[in-house]
Amino acid sequence: MDEDQLLLRALRDVNVPKFLMDDIPLFENIITDLFPTTIRPTYEYGNLEGEINVQCKNLNVQAVKAFKDKVF
């Protein structure tokens, strides 16, 4: 992975879970300004989403998108 993409992914992975929903678009705009030519990295989670769904069912938790995004 390119160094810029790695840095971009690290910044997003560390910061986005801490933000409120209203702050995420502001953060994305800042990232776009800092890395205008960097292609956003794609995330490969393998079978993680399937396992999240299984564990949510086992724990009687709804596997809604917001919850799964938080887990990712």
- C-alpha 57: how far from its chain's center? 22
Contact 56, 67 (CB under 8 A): yes
Question: pLDDT at position 59, please?
Answer: 93
Contact 57, 50 (CB under 8 A): no
Cα 31 to Cα 9, 12, 47: the distances in Å are 10, 9, 28
Angle of CA points 50, 41, 12, to nearest 5°: 85
Question: pLDDT at position 41, please?
Answer: 76
Question: pLDDT at position 58, please?
Answer: 95
Give the model confidence (pLDDT) of 1-57 as tens digits: 688 888 888 998 899 888 888 998 999 999 999 889 888 877 777 899 899 999 999
Question: pLDDT at position 1, please?
Answer: 66
